[in-house]
Structure 1
Amino acid sequence: MNPTETKALLPGLVIEDLSKIRQVGAPLWSPDRRHLLYQLVLADYQADDRHELIILFSLDTASKTTIGPGTAHAWSPDGREFLFETGDGALHIYNVDTTASRFLTRRLDSSYFINHLALHNCIWSPDGQHIAYISADAPIAGPQKREVTVIDDLLYKSKGGRGRPVYADHAKTHIYLVPATGGTPELLTDGHYNEHSITWSPDSRHIAFISNRTDRPDDIQQSDVWKVNTGTKAVTRLTDHTGLAYQPTWSPDGNYIAFLATSGATGTNDSPAEDTHIALLPANGGPFEYMTKSLDRRIEHIRWHPSGRYIYFTAGDRGDTSVYRISIEKPDIEARGTDTQGGDTQSIDTQNTNSQRIEKVLEGPGCISGFCLDARGDGLIFVKSDTNHPAEIFQIRNGYGSARPITQENTAWLAAKNLQPAETFWFDSFDGTRVQGWLIRPAGLEETRKYPLILVIHGGPHNMFGHDFDERMHLLSAAGYAVVYINPRGSHGYGQTFSNGTLNNWGGGDYQDLMAGIDFVLNRNPWLDAEKLGVTGQSYGGYMTNRIITRTTRFKAAVTDGGLSNLVSFAGTSLYHSLMESEFGGRAFDRFDLLWECSPLRNVARATTPTLFLHGETDNEVPFSQAEEMYIALKKKGVPTQLVQYTGEGHGWRPELGPRNKADLNGRMIAWFDQYIMNEP
């Protein structure tokens, strides 16, 4: 028997395998190039908990040491020590040579939600003398601790979830400075605003940061770049623009600050349609320049090359997330229509009008979720996953040759599994728009049989599916289902026009894209059973699942995970009330008719599909009432339905969802499909 035949006999991913997945990320390369720090997250099913461990990896000996639970923040400039934080907010410094650590200070978090890209980071000064960090004021008693709650602000809720308060404490986050040798922390910024996402100037005299200092920061989602002098504590505003700013990083020569930015007049603290782009700002303030607008892709994870000549960044493109670099001397990029995969005619070409290339340094298939450069800039360490492999860390040395694996945390258990590959396809939607999707076959497929098909829908609505590891797909495949997932209009990775495709029209063109994709797959794969279809999705994917069951009866079963049902009530109860304003172009009370028109609940009387609702009890992003409204309506109609509430859980596939609850959620999803699809006469 050849290796391929042997592999085919192995089982696919099952619920018990969820406890074996080891998540790696957050790499930090030491300045002396000798060591790597990374995060390792393990699921503990017995304790129903997860452990976040700091791993110290020697690049010289390929040996690794578990430092203990916590989060690594920064290396000292000489590479001999690093700063890390334990779960109680205590900051420590670990000495690599002596293996001893010392307590530095304690940092506090606020439960006030700023935005989804805010960094409460801790960084070491370039001269090695100080640690700057973000910390909240002394905790203010939250409303949940009072018998009578008085609310007079807009962002009075927190993100919620395990161990997190349901209501915001409204403590403000500020910048503190403490000597690296220890001592009393010094407050650098104060006032009634939050500071976050800090970066040192190369001369260690200033810290740049992000702050929303509008007169109504709860309501107006706008932010700018500021800086503070670490000696005089004088604060200077560096930008004054319409839009949001994120994650500034100072250039090595000190002349510029690069940051991510949007320019829309109506912002949102979560899931914006507008793609972020790199902005280049003179360090002393003044007009800044957008560098990557013509790339027409969403930019993330920016890093300066040590020479200061380039900025490295990640961008999603048609299901892959790759690393690029751009010269700050000639930043304009031209996106040309090179149709190399028979797909999107807006695929990225890296040749600009000045004949200077923007290089794609690392590319797919796969998704790169983080990277770091070495101190000389001729090597790169990155985190990458693909459809059949959870994320691992890789290294490229001495230029950009082949990558070698640093971690193989999931290699052993994957060797005993047969995970099905994802086959990508393109199709023309109802209006001729080219749309991309993927199909995963059921494990052990026999093409003489007919198989049911499950449509999985992503959240956002501006997320992007692609060549990334998603256990849901493999669990369904192992259970005997084919799985299709599609990037309908609204998804990022296909240009700003495509990303804008859901604005003022949730569940419109994207619904038609999904249905056209289902028809395309069924027509091309005769082994699929068109009479046995299921649908599921999380967050906006849950919204679309609810929308689908009110518009068609072609699906035999549906599972809604943390989904929206009533956009009118969502606009008044969600932590993300700004999302409705950003997506629908104004205040919710001026858009109630449109919000109701796009609400699944409006047409719930048409629904006949057996539907399971899965939802976190303390979900403030998509409140539990969204599931209740849909569930009650279906129950009164006599449609088979069930509502499952996860006590203390927040929103989505995030760390607060404990291992047992995550296993339970997936198990219930499969059991529901088995009952109403697989076992249907």
Structure 2
Amino acid sequence: MKENKTGNACFSALEWEQVMQLGEIALSPDGLTLAFVRSRRSVEQNCVIDELLLTATAGGSTICIGKGTSPVWHPNGLSLFFEQEENGVPFIWQYHLASKEKKRLAPVYHSDYFLGHLADKKFTISPDGRFLAYISTPPPPAVTGHPAIVVVERLLYKTRGGRTRPLFADGGYSQIWLLPLEGGVPLMLTTGNYHHYSPCWSADGRHIAFICNRTDNPDYNHRSTLWTVAADTGVIQEVAAHPGTRFKPAWSPDNLHIATLVTASELSSKDSPADDTQVYITNVETGKDQCISAQLDRRADNLCWHPGAQAVYFTAGDKGATNIYMAGLNGEVKPVVTGNGLIKEYCMDGSGTRLYFIRNAVTLPDEIYVYDANTGRERPLTDLHAGLLARCGFSPAETFWFASHDETAVQGWLMKPGGWRENVRYPLLLVVHGGPHNMFGFEFEERMQLLAANGYGVLFINPRGSHGYGQAFSMGTLLNWGGHDFKDLMAGLDHVIQRHSWIDENRLGITGQSYGGFMANWAITQTSRFRAAVVDGGISNLVSFAGTSLYHLLTEAEFGKPWDNYSLLWQWSPLCHVKHVRTPALFLHGERDYEVPVQQAEEMYTALKKLGVPSVMVRYMEEGHGWRPDLRPLNRLDVYSRMVQWFDKYLL
């Protein structure tokens, strides 16, 4: 096993390859078998492999039935539907549990148009088991070559980038299709130049709820609203118009209401909204809306109706932990499953008694657990990382609170270096989250573990703008990226230095990805206390970002119309203050990043070079934004390796 700088067993590249991501959990109708997706890295093949696993809910062995994603059970429980590529084309497949046979059913063509982070393209099966509804564009036309001239007429013409996506979005629109499971060809149920997604069947099987932006110029706003389409006639009807944005409909078991996630502001964003999503229920007959989660004042996700139709379950982040809550139709919210960890996904049995959920914690990668409402107890159902945990010691993190510059209470976490010893002083790295409305907390974060394993203390904080602390806190970055949030970070840094003598305040580094990269850029223009910075996919110029990013409405939602606020955008741009930088900086960026275009790194890098500040830019030619799981593990390893080497060079 690799030894770290202090001579203790650590989280190395070899162990990193063995950390698996779990997701897309689905319980069989009889409640006896759980299907889920395991994503594992293969450094040797330089790819991520998605596999379908089945495990008995009573306990026992877990089996892999092959590659695939998006598992959905047939109502009779005899077969499982999933998506798997063949010759580069995704297909819907059916797996028969008794015979273990797989049958290919229909191709799926995914549009590269950015629908939003909460858009759902999963399959859904009618209650009677006759039809499978799925999202696909019509079959694309044959490619005749690479055009030398591209004519652009749409505003949102870029994709999210990466090696698996083309440069520009295709002209296809996502439609709802019906696949007859008793035989027959797929039928396109919706039509028109709009994207339809997040389908959900009504309890009586007559309608499908979905999300769609049917305004005149959907590229110019994020007013996605709730609609239904009749399964037999294709008649479409808007259920609830709302000035904000809706996501993820869930139809109640009694057929009376549809629950959705809703942001309230008219000028919202489907990428990283300041508005916390709330749980709304809409009366299907009257269209009347009711928010039932406001009592909690947190950001909701992952909706699921109780089988009795008297409550909606959801996840929400709260002070660094992501838990499961229950909201009654009267608006009373109660915690259901809580603890210091991150619950990613969950599902419920037919009686509403048991919840099966995927959770990780600071020192524990993803596993599946089961919660019994009758006893109030939970237990682990899988133990997929047992071997890794036996070989490798992960670093715990201690949470703390401090008063910021204006006495606002802010939460942070401090992780000691691997092999920490008394009377030894260590360098400290401040890691900033993205968003800006993401949330750090009690989750397993491989970047933190790798940095700690290499002899660094790691500090991470939820400054103003983070979710998990209420709507007012989430909106703390509006009009001033680098204002209160930066002061929060510096106050937290001062707090831990004053209280922990092992921190060497002369050996401080900063890093962050996306908005965290923006903050790393901003910090080195505002202070010289950091001796090294690693900027990962970061923003440097809000003026150019507003006109070139796929997320054009993010800037608008945070700062207003760019042409009315160019001076404000420039004021809060790191590039505006770049002449003050003395900190050596490493810029890591995906060449095909259209969320934060690579020119953002180039502008900052060029300025530092001309100023004589030590700087290096690394451009990953096939990568998009955020080193997503479907990309190449060797590139992500390279990112981590260069990050550690840069800090070693300037902090050790």
Q: Give the alignment's TM-score, normalised by structure 2.
A: 0.97
Q: Is this contact kept in 1: 2:368–2:382, CA < 8 A?
A: yes
- Aligned counterparts of 1:304 and 1:442: Cα–Cα separation in 2: 43
Please give the alpha-carbon distance, in whole angstroms, between the structure 1 residues aligned to 2:91 and 2:347.
Answer: 25
Secondary structure of the residue that 1:550 maps to in structure 2?
helix
Structure 2 segments unaligned to the other structure (5+ residues): 1-5
**Larger mean Cα displacement after TM superposition, 159-168 or 652-661:** 652-661
Which residue of the other structure, out of 359, 364, 369, is the alignment partner of 1:394?
369
Residue by residue over 1:468-503, the C-alpha shift from the partner in whole angstroms, topping out at 9 and shown as x without a partner, is 001111111111111100000000000000010000
Give 3-state SS (helix, strand or coil) of 1:190's partner. coil
Give the equivalent residue in structure 2 for 1:525. 500
What secondary structure sits across from 2:534 in the alignment? strand
> Do the aligned residues in 2 keep the contact of 1:136 with 1:174 (CA within 8 Å)?
yes
Q: Choose the corresponding residue for 2:636, options 620, 645, 662.
A: 662
The alpha carbon displacement at 1:53 in A equals: 0.2
Give the Cα–Cα distance (whole angstroms) in 2 for the partners of residues 263 and 140 of structure 1. Answer: 39
SS of residue paired to 1:218:
helix
How far apart, CA to CA, are the structure 2 residues paired with 1:164 and 1:400?
47
Aligned-residue identity in percent: 46
Between stretches 624-633 and 109-118, larger displacement belongs to 109-118
Alpha-carbon separation, structure 2, partners of 1:379 and 1:633: 57
Counterpart CA distance in 2 for 1:621 and 1:107 is 25
User: 2: CA distance between counterparts of 1:397 and 1:652?
Assistant: 36
Q: Distance in 1 between matches of 2:638 and 2:347?
A: 36
- Tell me the residue number matched to 1:30: 28
Partner of 1:547: 522
Match of 1:471 in 2: 446
TM-score by length of 1: 0.93
Q: Which residue of 2 aligns with 1:70?
A: 68
Query: Conserved in 2, the CA contact under 8 Å of 1:111 and 1:170?
Result: no
2:77 is aligned to 79
Question: What whole-Å deviation, never above 9, does each CA across 1:384-438 have from its counterpart, x for those lacking one?
Answer: 0000011111112462432222221111111122222100010000000000000
Q: Deviations over 1:235-288 (max 9, x none)?
A: 111111100000001000101100101121112220000000011101234221
Matched, 1:417 2:415: no
8 Å Cα contact 1:10-1:417 kept in structure 2: no
2:257 match: 256
- Counterpart-to-counterpart distance in 2, 1:210 and 1:177: 17
Q: Which moved more, 1:464-473 or 1:416-425?
A: 416-425
Q: Secondary structure at the match of 1:542?
A: helix
Match for residue 428 of structure 2?
Answer: 453
What SS is found at the alignment partner of 1:294?
A: coil
CA contact (8 A) 1:238 1:286 kept: yes
The residue number in structure 1 matching 2:307 is 306
Residue 73 of structure 1 and its aligned partner are, at CA, apart by 3.0
Separation in 1 of the partners of 2:632 and 2:344? Answer: 23
Q: Deviations over 1:188-210 (max 9, x none)?
A: 11001110001001111100100
Report the CA distance shift for 1:615/1:9 in structure 2 as closer, same or farther (over 3 A): closer
The one of 43, 46, 49 equivalent to 2:47 is 49
Cα–Cα, structure 1 residues 450 and 144, in superposed 2: closer, same or farther, change >3 Å? farther
Code of the aligned partner of 1:516: A
Q: Which amino acid aligns with 2:218?
A: P
Q: Is 2:70–2:122's contact at 8 Å kept on the other side of the alignment?
A: no
Which position in structure 2 is the counterpart of 1:129?
130
Match of 2:465 among 483, 487, 490: 490
Match of 2:193 in 1: 192
- Give the residue type in structure 2 aligned to 1:297: R
1:270 equivalent in structure 2: 271
Alpha-carbon distance in 2 for matches of 1:58, 1:180: 26
Q: 1:143 to 1:247 in 2, by over 3 A?
A: farther
Q: 2:8, 2:418 within 8 Å by CA — same for their partners in 1?
A: no
CA contact (8 A) 2:23 2:345 kept: yes
Match of 2:488 in 1: 513
CA contact (8 A) 2:535 2:588 kept: yes
1:142 touches 1:169 (CA, 8 Å); kept in 2? no
Counterpart check, 1:376 vs 2:351: yes
Are the aligned partners of 1:26 and 1:370 in contact in 2 as well (CA < 8 Å)? yes
The one-letter code sitting in structure 2 at the alignment partner of 1:157 is K
State whether residues 144 and 167 of structure 1, in contact with CA within 8 Å, keep that contact through their aligned partners in structure 2.
no
Q: Which amino acid aligns with 2:646?
A: W
Q: Hey, what does 2:646 align to over in structure 1?
A: 672
Q: Which deviations, in whole Å up to 9, do the C-alpha atoms of 1:445-470 show, x marking residues without a partner?
A: 12211111100000000000000001
TM-superposed CA distance for 1:114, in Å, is: 1.4
Q: CA deviation at 1:168?
A: 0.6
Quick one: distance in 2 between partners of 1:627 and 1:659?
A: 22
Query: d(CA) in 1 for partners of 2:556 and 2:188?
Result: 36
For 2:608 and 2:70, locate their aligned partners in 1 and report how far apart those are by CA, in whole Å. 48
Alignment map for 1:524-603 (pairs within 5 Å) = 524-584=499-559, 586-603=560-577
Counterpart position of 1:340: none
Q: Return closer, same or farther for 1:444/1:10 CA change in 2, 3 Å cut-off.
A: closer
The runs of at least 4 consecutive aligned structure 1 residues that moved more than 3 Å come to: 140-144
Shifted more, 278-287 versus 537-546: the winner is 278-287
Deviation at 1:297, TM superposition (A): 0.3
Q: In 2, distance between residues paired with 1:28 and 1:464? A: 26
Whole-angstrom distance in 1 between the partners of 2:390 and 2:420: 20
Q: Does 1:359 align with 2:334?
A: yes
2 CA distance for matches of 1:261 and 1:230?
A: 25
